[in-house]
């Protein structure tokens, strides 16, 4: 069987989806970032264990902590979206259901990310 791709597409490694390895690399980069970010999050949770609300809000008003927590949320949600997208694309064979689930995945992750970011910003700005 002959390859119908153009020489440029062969060099770029683009398949029929025109996506190449972009999705693969985004998933790997977010996974590596999550190693450090989730480690920070676990340390933060351990450090704030047993703290009252005032201590918690004081900690989140530190710009470094709030920025790192926002990164935990955003990178974690992006990684979650990419992972679920792969599962849906690989295991759902009905095109209509696949489209519906892919859109639901985007909406779900967007709602979780936006709600979490608003909560952290509200606490970090003293709201």
DSSP code string of the chain: ----S-HHHHHHT--TTS-TTHHHHHHHHHHHHHHHHHHHHHHHHHHTTT--HHHHHHHHTSHHHHHHHHHHHHHHHHHHHHHHHHHHHHH---HHHHHHHHHHHHHHHHHHHHHHHHHHHHHHTT-
Give residue 21's pLDDT.
Answer: 86
Encode pLDDT of 16-35 as tens digits. Answer: 556 668 989 999 999 999 99
* pLDDT tens per residue, range 81-113: 999 999 999 999 999 999 999 999 999 999 999
**How high is the pLDDT of residue 126?**
85
* Residues sharing a CB contact under 8 Å with residue 73, sequence separation 6 or more, in sequence order: 113, 116, 117, 120
Rounded to whole angstroms, the Cα distance separating 55 from 94 reads 50
pLDDT per residue over 31-53, tens digit each? 999 999 999 999 999 999 999 99
Residue 2 has pLDDT above 80, yes or no: no
Is the confidence at residue 12, as pLDDT, over 70?
no
């Amino acid at each position: 069987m002959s390859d119908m791709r153009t020489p440029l597409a062969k060099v770029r490694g683009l398949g029929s989806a025109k996506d190449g390895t972009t999705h693969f690399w985004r998933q790997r980069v977010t996974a590596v970032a999550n190693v450090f970010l989730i480690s920070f999050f676990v340390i933060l949770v351990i450090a704030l264990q047993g703290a009252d609300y005032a201590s918690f809000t004081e900690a989140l008003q530190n710009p470094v902590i709030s920025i790192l927590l926002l990164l935990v949320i955003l990178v974690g949600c992006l990684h979650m979206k990419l992972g679920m997208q792969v599962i849906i694309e690989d295991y759902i064979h009905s095109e209509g259901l696949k489209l519906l689930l892919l859109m639901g995945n985007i909406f779900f992750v967007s709602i979780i990310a936006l709600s979490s970011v608003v909560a952290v910003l509200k606490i970090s700005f003293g709201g």
